[in-house]
Structure 1
């Protein structure tokens, strides 16, 4: 059953003219990827965004798409690759809420892509001694917080961050611009192989994809989207690293930058991000802890471990909200209002009060998560 479901999910991404947004639209209306192929044309054409051309593509391309999907599943089995459709529980939750997120990911590894704390680290390929020292220090400072380190497996800051994470015993994910079976640059294969048992390799690109230049900016949006914060260590003023930072900023994700020597070209980008208020300055792990409220999370967790849930500390509406979030961990505001039976007009103030008490955290897209 699961293999059949996966077959149709992969096939849906093979249909010509069906991009990520339309894929979500079709699945949302039809109920599943398989149902999209089985729904009569008369019903499909009533779905917003579905026109005569797409109907023709689905009718003419279904058989070919299923054959292509079957081949991809065989390749995945041969290379020990997991094909994660966006509805999978293993798909990164932080990523799936973003409008330009991929609908299918190719993943090799053993780490949880929904790890409790995920930090992306990016920077120049022309890393300086200062940049290497700072990158290693940041990773080392993250050890007590058991954070997952995400980067792009490239030369410079990327590979230093991955290597430091492996040495520190932290899980680390390399997001690639190639197919899942290709490590680029090949010289980093030894680190990539270690990451398969202490993290993993992730890509949206199918088997046989070459590392063409346009794929790297697309890769960067995954790095920015699947983490809680993107830390820029060193970057030139005009660079792919700043593109990643700007993408994270556009997603309402936290961005931090390491201040650098004002005479160094690879510090121009980080200093600019701080000066333009697109990034907070990273000078120690405490800056990150306070930015992401990790201290409040840990305090809340400690309270739960040492004391029972004291209802007297919360209002009736706060208790309703907490009970919902304890079950689902994270909810969109409208859903939370309906499930907790708290009017939206009142819910905002209730959530603010719970934030002050260190019990919930606001997430992008008007979502709220319980801290634990």
Structure 2
């Protein structure tokens, strides 16, 4: 754990006394998108979060979230190593313990930030303070699911005060009433098609022989299981073709 002396431009309006970090600081220099939402998402929102986090990482864009149960940890898991977590505790305390395995991987492969000095355990207001950083770092906010009276909606209120764009997905009537409200009131845009949305946001992604997304991902020496989760049977094909190999549970580009 180290102290970050140059506060990122996106966070300077918060007048933070200190920021601590563990991991890869170069991620702060990349484009970033925030994904946040319900701690108890339905299957539809889970699948959407998995797909959009994975596809955003193909663009080389970093996902920012808060490491919480539900939407947050799904977004982190499917965008590793291109992800930044903002902790509600100090960095010597992993919170929540339920997500410790993924959080420990982020300590090694990604970037975790905290405004709290050791050894700080989360208080009720810590999550609201944490969420200000989560919202501030991303150029826009993607909210797959949220209840009307929830911490996620408080984060959206803060995001709107910063004039951040909010994006939601369509749900059935009676579900995710927070995102339904945002769409109804014109406070958020609806994502109807993930690929079209991402192309509009980031431009057309290079996808030709000169840039192989599997090999680009494997250059970061991901865990085999992580690569398999992202690309499925293609990983086995590349291994058989001799393009990649396994080494101590990780993948290397040959």
**Structure holding more helix per residue:** 1
Superposition TM-score tier, normalisation by shorter sequence:
0.7 to 0.9
> Deviations along 1:259-315, whole A, 9 cap, x unmatched?
211122xx111111112222111221432442x4x229x89xxxxxxxxxxxxxxxx
- State the 1:198 CA deviation: 2.3
- State the 1:151 CA deviation: 0.8
**Unmatched tracts of structure 1, length 5 or more:** 1-80, 300-372
Give 1:245's match in structure 2, choosing from 132, 146, 156: 156
Residue 158 of structure 1 corresponds to 72
1:282 is the counterpart of 2:202: no
1:147 is the counterpart of 2:55: no
Give 2:16's match in structure 1, choosing from 102, 105, 109: 102
Aligned residues: CA RMSD: 1.9
Q: Which moved more, 1:102-111 or 1:182-191?
A: 102-111
Contact 2:27 2:82 in 1 (8 A): no
Query: Residues 279 and 287 from structure 1, CA distance in 2 versus in 1: closer, same or farther, beyond 3 angstroms?
Result: same
Q: Which moved more, 1:243-252 or 1:105-114?
A: 105-114
Aligned residues, how many?
205
Within 5 Å, which residues of 2 pair with 1:155-304? 155-166=69-80, 170-264=81-175, 267-283=176-192, 284-290=194-200, 292=201, 294-295=202-203
- CA distance in structure 1 between the partners assigned to 2:74 and 2:86 by the alignment: 15
Contact 1:119 1:229 in 2 (8 A): yes
The alignment's TM-score, normalised by the length of structure 2, stands at 0.75
Residue 93 of structure 1 corresponds to 9
- State the 1:250 CA deviation: 0.8
**Unmatched tracts of structure 2, length 5 or more:** 207-254
Structure with bigger RCO (C-alpha 8 Å, 6+ apart):
2
